Structure 1
Amino acid sequence: MSTQTSSGTAVTDTDEDRALKARHAAMWALGNYPVVASDVIASLGPVLVEAAGLTAGQRVHDVAAGSGNVAIPAARTGAQVTATDLTPELLDKGRTDAEAEGLTITWRVADAEALPFDDGEYDVALSCVGIMFAPHHQAAADELLRCVRPGGTIGLVSWTPEGFIGQMFATMKPYAPAPPPEAQPPPLWGHVDHVRELLGDRVEDLTARQQDLVVDQFATPEEFRDFFKANYGPTIAVYRAIADDPEKVAALDRDLVALAERFDRGDGHTVLDWEYLLVTARRA
């Protein structure tokens, strides 16, 4: 069985797809992604909010919101924010943080490939290193666009394939179970040609630029590796997959350190540039 988006793209609703989404939701609940969001990539949310030019009163949807890296700074502008994600544990953390600031945000468990909203319900749709992890890119892009009114704004931040996080996924790939054949690699969203193809003529005034997030929280490459082994769901999942093979665990340990050493431009203290693609566009 499958449903159709307004543009005609099939969104699978099979047992296999539901199982895949359940695995994704569970993966992002592993470890402590909110501490990654707050301690390492916190600045990306405000960058996207500023690029989208949010103003008070706008209806804003943060897609694949995690723990609110974009939703919370968006709400600070006075916008009416809805945050959706597959993983309820992440939304729970975002809800707690928002309430501590006195911010009102609607938090809702939802699949980016099958959003429970009307056509054109929002003025703005944003996603910060979130929607890129939906396995079926065209279905996710179609839903992102469907829920934005004509003339509304789309804003995206995605890790590039060549950048640090894209290369981290490439480093982990040989150790990870093979993904389903129809699932697309997340870092493809970091190529502007891919994004243009996904959005097509349904957007206007698309602008894209590559920027770097400077990460200097880790004293050494080993400290980076251990932080991600403890906190980042995808990394934890790969290590769990090879837990019964000490040689593979040791090899991945070495490979992740080597990756950080390759990107390190610090002098006695690790400094990494994590490249991402920032895209804004207007719904045609």
Structure 2
Amino acid sequence: MTETTTAPPPAAEMWGLGGAHYDLVSFAIGDALAHAAQRLAPPPGARVLDVATGTGWTARNVARFGAHVDAVDFSPGMLDAARALSSHIKEITFAVADAQALPFETATFDGVISTFGVMFAPDHRQAAAELTRVCRPGGRLVLATWAPGGSVEEFFGVIGRHGDAAPPEPSPMLWGDPDHVDGLLGDAFELTFEQGTSHAYHETVAAIRDWYARGFGPVRAMAASLDPARRAVLWSDIDAFHDRYVTEAGLHVKRDYLITIGTRR
């Protein structure tokens, strides 16, 4: 495998803005990340690819099973954090790579996993073709993807209202629709689907806003692009979005997702 040395694309720079702080964003959805790793359940010694690893949370979960993990992401900033956070685990190798052009030979991996990562690749069919290509016959594929029409899509809509860019087409949230996923992967994999809801807990509305402001690249990028007055409106809208999750104990944020489980034909 050859790691790319070209400059990262703008989207990679955006997602990498949070650096190590993004790990707290992953921590908040840790139940969903664990769900995916447990459905993959690789045997000890298996070789697994984690696509769009971010700060390496899922790679570390998979390594718990005794698997050897190749973890890739298109953001060098994310990978710098992932290497630092995972330095105690010798079974993980990190490399810069695009989900749409994976730098591995065909049928290399016993298992392939992506948790809320590959769904953001612009070309759905090309990304699906690459997941298919690198998974050996009889190998296992597990994806965790946000549900269309759910709270995550609504949150991205809140952010997007403050910028000039059009929403991505096709929508990343289509990866949370079993029919769409079946159209992408059903010819190559025997598929099973499982619904899930991630539960996150924060002390206050201000606390979750601070997590996003520090660690979530799309929010950081949007905030940096706005003048102070418009930035204040962004924060106000984000706070209003999270007000609905306030309970007596603090915030309880719920996010619906889909787990796709596939066996390579």
Same fold per superposition (TM over 0.5): yes
Shift, 1:160, TM fit: 1.5
Which of 97, 111, 117 is 2:85 aligned to? 97
Larger mean CA deviation between 230-239 and 161-170 belongs to 161-170
- The answer to whether the Cα contact below 8 Å between 2:67 and 2:91 also exists between their aligned partners in 1 is no
Post-superposition Cα deviations, 1:30-64, rounded to whole Å, max 9, x if no partner, equal 12312322x31233332211111211011100001
CA deviation vs aligned residue, 1:71-114 (integer Å, no higher than 9, x gap) = 111112111110010112222222223222x4321111000000
| Alignment pair present for 1:209 and 2:190 | no
Structure 1 residue ranges without an equivalent (≥5)? 1-17
Alignment partners' CA distance in 2, 1:95 and 1:223:
27
Aligned residue runs from structure 1 range 212-251, under 5 A: 212-216=197-201, 218-241=202-225, 243-244=226-227, 246=229, 248-251=230-233
Aligned partner of 1:147 among 134, 137, 140: 134
Name 1:192's counterpart in structure 2: 178
**Matched position secondary structure for 1:111:** coil
Q: Which amino acid aligns with 1:118?
A: E
Q: CA deviation at 1:226?
A: 2.8
Question: Is it true that 1:283 corresponds to 2:264 in the alignment?
Answer: yes
How much has 1:179 moved relative to structure 2? 4.6
Superposition pairs for residues 58-77 of structure 1, below 5 Å? 58-77=46-65
> Which protein, 1 or 2, shows the higher relative CO under an 8 Å CA cutoff with sep ≥ 6?
2
* Aligned pairs, number: 258
1:136 counterpart = 2:136: no
Q: TM-score, normalised by structure 2?
A: 0.90
Could you tell which deviates more after superposition, 28-37 or 140-149? Answer: 28-37
After the TM superposition, which residues 71-90 of structure 1 pair with which residues of structure 2 at under 5 Å, given as runs? 71-90=59-78
When residues 130 and 259 of structure 1 are mapped into structure 2, their CA distance, relative to the original with a 3 A threshold, is: same
> Per-residue displacement from partner, 1:223-280 (whole Å, max 9, x unpaired)?
2223212220011112222x2261x323322221222123x16225111111111111
Which residue matches 1:122?
109
Residue 30 of structure 1 aligns to a residue in which SS?
helix
CA contact (8 A) 2:24 2:211 kept: no
Distance 1:106 1:96, change over 3 A: same
- Contact kept? 1:122, 1:149, Cα under 8 Å: yes
Distance in 2 (alpha carbons) for counterparts of 1:46 and 1:227: 21
Amino acid at match of 1:210: Q
| TM-score, length basis structure 1 | 0.84
Distance in 2 (alpha carbons) for counterparts of 1:179 and 1:59: 39
**Percent identity (aligned):** 36
Matched residue SS, 1:99: coil
RMSD: 2.0
Asked if the contact 2:160/2:167 (under 8 Å) is kept, the reply is no
Q: Distance in 2 between matches of 1:129 and 1:115?
A: 17
CA distance in 1, matches of 2:69, 2:249: 42
